Amino acid sequence: MFQWKKLGKVFTPQEVTGRPWLSAFAQAPATLVFDNYVRVYFSCRPPADKNGQFVSYSAWVDLDRNDLFKVLRIADNPILPLGRLGEFDEFGTYPVSVIRDGTQIRAWYAGWTRCESVPFNVSIGTAVSNDGGQSFQRIGCGPVIEYSPEEPFVISGPKIRRFNDQWQLFYIAGRKWKSVEGRAEPVYKIRMAASDDGVHWKKLNRDLIASRIEEDEAQASPDVFFANGKYHMFFSYRYSSDYRGKQYGYRIGYASSENLTDWTRDDSKAGIDVSSEGWDAEMISYPHVFELDGKIYMAYLGDGVGREGFGLAQLQGELR
């Protein structure tokens, strides 16, 4: 099994000043490594509007490569503006995943829109940066991964990867909405699509990870990497109801594969769980694994799905 040593919380959005669009949350961390620093992209929110409605933005924080607990810079503005009236990302960009592609940095992100019968719907768009990942421009006004007969709603959680000279996009797709004490709660499962150009995608059209805790288990944030001859996936999962507390809240799971499409789940190997006390004592979610200077780290969220920031853990021993 993996063994992760928690290092502590790295970034707290409530401590940031001068950015009214960043008052809470640092969700879905995703890294891009530079010579002297590690840029961590995340999603955040300003206070609710007069009607109690929220929007979500994506931004970044630069951490000193030699001391990941030392914040060097925080984005002055969101990396993307919200979409225009009626567009798929009118009310939010969350989460975002980035990758280098030649001289450009490309991003895939979830765009949010509001609904009447359910709170929201989501689909995935793409954007590109020509200034080193400080800001991005959308590739068109619509999504590149959207609803279909097999995936009818909540297309979100993109994680972009490139294996074997092909693009892979791991994401989640809605399975159903459940009414829980008068509130609509989404159930979603992990999926994937492949592409030769990063724009035109062929969906696998089936779930990758078997449910374990209940049939309506919700799965999110699939983070995939290759090591020692196989593919590894860390992801988060939760119960379909009462999941905003400790008993049924988010946890981190693990699965492995030899071909990217057939996965064996074994959460006992994840090697990380909630703490006995502190900022991640109720839930733990949205894992992102990255290598830096010969060490393997996991960025992750704690209580409130990242309301008060993200933290780091370091792998003990080798990947296996």
CA 28/CA 49 separation, integer angstroms: 23
- 122: β partners: 112
Is the pLDDT assigned to residue 45 strictly greater than 90? yes
> How far apart are the C-alpha atoms of 316 and 223, rounded to whole Å?
19
14: which DSSP letter?
G
Q: Are 187 and 216 in contact (CB under 8 A)?
A: yes
Q: pLDDT tens across 138-149, in order? A: 999 999 999 999
Give mean pLDDT, residues 179-183.
90
DSSP-H helix ranges across the chain: 303-306
Q: What domains can you pick out in the chain, each with its CATH number?
A: 4-315 (2.115.10.20)
Secondary structure of residue 7 in the 3-state scheme = strand
Please check the confidence at residue 226 and state whether its pLDDT lies above 90.
Answer: yes
3-class DSSP assignment, residue 253? strand
Residue range 86-91: mean pLDDT, rounded = 97
Q: Are 310 and 284 in contact (CB under 8 A)?
A: no
Average model confidence (pLDDT) across the chain = 96
pLDDT, position 306: 96
Instruction: Give the Cα separation of 39 and 33 in Å (integer).
Output: 6
Mean pLDDT, to the nearest integer, of 313-318?
92
**Which stretch of 31-45, 59-73, 217-231, 238-252 has the lowest confidence by average pLDDT?**
238-252
Q: In what order do the strands lie in the sheet with 310-315?
A: 4-11, 310-315, 295-301, 285-292
**Averaged pLDDT for residues 184-211:** 95
3-state secondary structure of 283: coil
> Would you state the pLDDT for residue 244?
86
**Cβ 13 vs Cβ 24: under 8 Å:** yes
Coil/strand/helix, residue 313: strand
pLDDT at 317: 85
**Paired tokens of 245:** 């507390």
Q: Model confidence over 239-254: pLDDT tens digits?
A: 998 888 898 999 999 9
Q: Tell me what pLDDT residue 153 has.
A: 96
Closest CA to 158 of 249, 87, 238, 89: 89
Helix (H) or strand (E) holding 208: none
pLDDT at residue 30, rounded to an integer: 98
Task: Tell me: pLDDT of 163 over 80.
Answer: yes
Half-sphere exposure in the Cβ direction for 151 (13 Å, CA): 25
Flag whether pLDDT at 319 surpasses 80.
no
The torsion angles phi and psi of 314, rounded to 5 degrees, stand at -120, 135
Classify burial at 18, counting beta carbons within 10 Å of its beta carbon; exposed 0-12, middle 13-18, buried 19 or more: exposed
| Cα gap 146→111, rounded to integer Å | 10
Note the pLDDT tens digit of each residue in 269-297. Answer: 999 999 999 999 999 999 999 999 999 99
How many Å apart are CA 203 and CA 195, to the nearest integer? 9
Exposed, middle or buried: residue 267 (CB in 10 Å: 0-12, 13-18, 19+)? middle
Contact (CB, 8 A) for 252 and 287: yes
What CA–CA distance (Å, rounded) separates 232 from 13?
Answer: 30
pLDDT at residue number 301? 98
Residue 318: per-residue pLDDT: 77
User: What is the Rg, in whole angstroms, of the alpha carbon atoms belonging to the chain?
Assistant: 18
Residue in the block written with tokens 């780290």: 297
Structure tokens at 228: 């020692």
pLDDT band for position 156 (50/70/90)? Answer: very high
